[in-house]
Chains A and B, each alone.
Chain A
Amino acid sequence: MDQGGQMATNNSSGALLELRGVSKHFGPVQSLTDVNMSAPSGMVTALVGDNGAGKSTLVKCIAGIHSPDDGGHIFFDGKEVSMKSPKDAASLGIETVYQDLALCDNLDIVQNMFLGREKRRGLFLDEDAMENAAKETLASLSVTTIRSIRQPVASLSGGQRQAVAVAKAVMWNAKLVIMDEPTAALGVAQTKMVLGLVRTLADRGLGVIIISHNMNDVFKVADRIAVLRLGKMVAEDRADKFDRQIIVDLMTTGVSTRARSEDALSGAEGGAH
């Protein structure tokens, strides 16, 4: 990859998140090689790839769980950043919604949304303030199917749990929300609700990165698509430059000879325009 020449242009593109030449290895296993990627504000960027392509590793590098190998650069909001922990990422405004959602079934919605960041008044928890803030956030996301904000998360449906997890991420003034397989294991109606939520986030001006296996969902909600294969970014461009078949080709072979293939190939160098 000819990252040297591209750096200046990519920084000036003003994307919220810029990855430049990010690599990551675990012992002898090279999970990510020289990955460039960008995620602009107000857009949904879908990250696709086969199993083991490195999607989760890449996301964990952005979320501060893994620190990338030396030599790579991560720019956030125009500044180079290095994140040592999920807390660093959170303080920048990067929030991640994991596939397992990381909710405590035995706690209620408010308690889950504030887990680890509870508001206090003196020594004691400020339940009223937390409940109001949680209520506002859910309302702002147009989540209307939840009857009581004080019901345990165990009693929620899959889509509602996803909504709570997203609301939890957004409440902390997130600028970038990363979602790992948000629609896996959801029914049709619930998938629709969650994709609506993803769209709402982007329309509010947040950057969204969504990992998905489901091409239907990707084409329904994504503005941009990035394709990973064996740890390398093989294509990244606007969603309308791809079709389903091209993506499958890229995921499996790294190239596509179909129509628009020149866009797909040059996508490896291009950022957002």
Chain B
Amino acid sequence: MATNQEDIKATADIVAPTEVDPTAANTANYFEVATFGEYVKSSIAKVKGGDSGILPVLVGLVIIAIIFQSLNSNFLSAGNLINLLSQGAAYILLSLGEIYALLLGEIDLSIGYVAGVAGIVMAQLASAQHNWPWWAAIIVALIVATAIGALQGTIITRVGLPSFVVTLAGLLGWQGVMLIILGNGGTLPISSNVLNDLANGSLNTVATVISIVAIVAIYAIVVMTREVKRKKKALHRAPASLAYIKIGGAVIGGAVLILISNTNRGVLVPIRGLPWVVLIVVAFVVMWTILLSKTRYGRYIYAVGGNAEAARRGGINLARVRTGAFALASLTAGVAGIIYASRLRSVSTSLDGGTLVLYAVAAAVIGGTSLFGGKGKPIHAILGGIVIAGIDNGMGLLGISAAARLVVTALVLLAAVLIDALARRSRTAR
């Protein structure tokens, strides 16, 4: 509130409007280039002021790592961390999909079973009975998932029904479809090696080093070119030290990932290398980040979630944006379903799409995505997904019952929603 008073004071001595002061344009440069210290301060102010971002979840991850490592020294072992990443991949991908619905201020409850349906389509087509090539099976499965999302999105936007109800019907309906195809207690095994390797295979050690170094290098180049360009053109930018910290973090993260990937984690035979699934998750996070932050369509998703009326007056076709978002959510869920099936080397009726989707929502919210629309990033899905997988995995290592794990996950989710709600309240109070 103190800032508001400053604003009022500042507006009091605005340039006399009748004469346009040529120096006025020079005094207001409209970009802050703060020092790093000021940036940290303003970040903390942002958290207090309603834009929590990824700071809380990063703190949460560190706390989780410290607690579980002190209780069981296996938690931060290379094998367990890699295990955790591939365990969490399906949640992270589902959560990535859910973010599209959450950004609109909507929810999609169906994506857990949409993932199941996609897994079934893929497994069926690739089975000995149909014998399609693996890539064709994947493409068709993803098309089916996207079509389901587009259908549900069309019902939601054109008929004007609440997304909660339409996708709840989807949750029930697609589970039914799964049961019909699989039969009672049925299991559909996957025999294709490629499909099974999606979630279970790894790169060799050399390819691991090359791919991670390449990813970190590209990231560093992108960050640096942007920094240099914006500096040259005197555009708004964060302090330069932040760019170095980002790059430094990526280099350290990449080095750690190479180290833990290439440490032997096999028990009987040596297993080394980065799991394929990590690359798949990274690829989708990068793709959706670019879509959301660099394209018109992505901008419109944020605008519709932030203020649909403003977006409509701006000439944005709300129905198209919303339907597209639900289709993208289902497409991403389809990828999650394929990974899930690949990890189990089969699709069975034991797939619990209801729990999966709630974990996906939880992961997105824990990661910093708002339930109220307009605020969230793909990176939140990764961080939130790792928190959930970490709690699950850590408590599993300690031999704590599944019941207790559910309670702890619930408390973490509650804490995350609480942060979001408090942040939102302080934002609207302005």
A and B bound? yes
Closest beta carbon of chain A to B430's beta carbon, Å: 7
Pair A142/B314 contact, Cβ less than 8 Å: no
- A116–B318 Cα gap in the complex (Å)? 11
- A154–B50 Cα gap in the complex (Å)? 9
- Known A125-B294, A125-B296; judge A147-B32 contact (CB<8 A): yes
List of B residues within 8 angstroms of A193 by Cβ: 11, 14
Pair A203/B236 contact, Cβ less than 8 Å: no
Q: How large is the interface on B (under 10, 10 to 19, 20 to 34, 35 or more residues)?
A: 35 or more
- Known A115-B303, A125-B295, A132-B235; judge A144-B27 contact (CB<8 A): yes
Pair B295/A124 contact, Cβ less than 8 Å: yes
Identify which of B4, B310, B315 contacts A86 (C-beta below 8 A): B315
Closest beta carbon of chain B to A171's beta carbon, Å: 13
Q: How large is the interface on A (under 10, 10 to 19, 20 to 34, 35 or more residues)?
A: 35 or more
List of A residues within 8 angstroms of B374 by Cβ: 104-106
Pair A149/B31 contact, Cβ less than 8 Å: yes
User: Chain B residue with minimal CB distance to A165?
Assistant: B310
- A87–B51 Cα gap in the complex (Å)? 33
List of B residues within 8 angstroms of A139 by Cβ: 24-25, 28, 30
List of A residues within 8 angstroms of B230 by Cβ: 128
Whether B267 is near chain A, meaning CB under 8 Å from some CB there, is: no
Interface of chain A residues 62 through 121 with chain B (CB within 8 A): 86-87, 90, 98, 100-107, 111-112, 115-118, 120
Whether A12 is near chain B, meaning CB under 8 Å from some CB there, is: no
Closest beta carbon of chain B to A56's beta carbon, Å: 14
Closest beta carbon of chain A to B235's beta carbon, Å: 5
1/0 per position for B312-341, CB-CB distance to A under 8 A? 011110000000000000000000000000
- A132–B49 Cα gap in the complex (Å)? 27
List of A residues within 8 angstroms of B28 by Cβ: 138-139, 143-146
- A145–B229 Cα gap in the complex (Å)? 26
Pair B375/A106 contact, Cβ less than 8 Å: yes
- A192–B18 Cα gap in the complex (Å)? 13
Pair B310/A102 contact, Cβ less than 8 Å: yes
1/0 per position for B1-40, CB-CB distance to A under 8 A? 0011001111110111110110011011011100000000
- A125–B293 Cα gap in the complex (Å)? 9
- Known A160-B7, A189-B12; judge A140-B25 contact (CB<8 A): yes
- Known A102-B307, A102-B310, A154-B430; judge A187-B8 contact (CB<8 A): yes
Interface of chain A residues 23 through 75 with chain B (CB within 8 A): none
- A159–B313 Cα gap in the complex (Å)? 21
Whether B309 is near chain A, meaning CB under 8 Å from some CB there, is: yes
Whether A263 is near chain B, meaning CB under 8 Å from some CB there, is: no
Pair A107/B306 contact, Cβ less than 8 Å: yes
List of A residues within 8 angstroms of B17 by Cβ: 142, 195-197, 199-200, 203
15 sampled A-B residue pairs with Cβ under 8 A = A102-B310, A102-B314, A104-B311, A106-B306, A106-B307, A111-B299, A116-B316, A131-B235, A132-B235, A138-B30, A142-B24, A144-B24, A192-B12, A193-B14, A203-B18
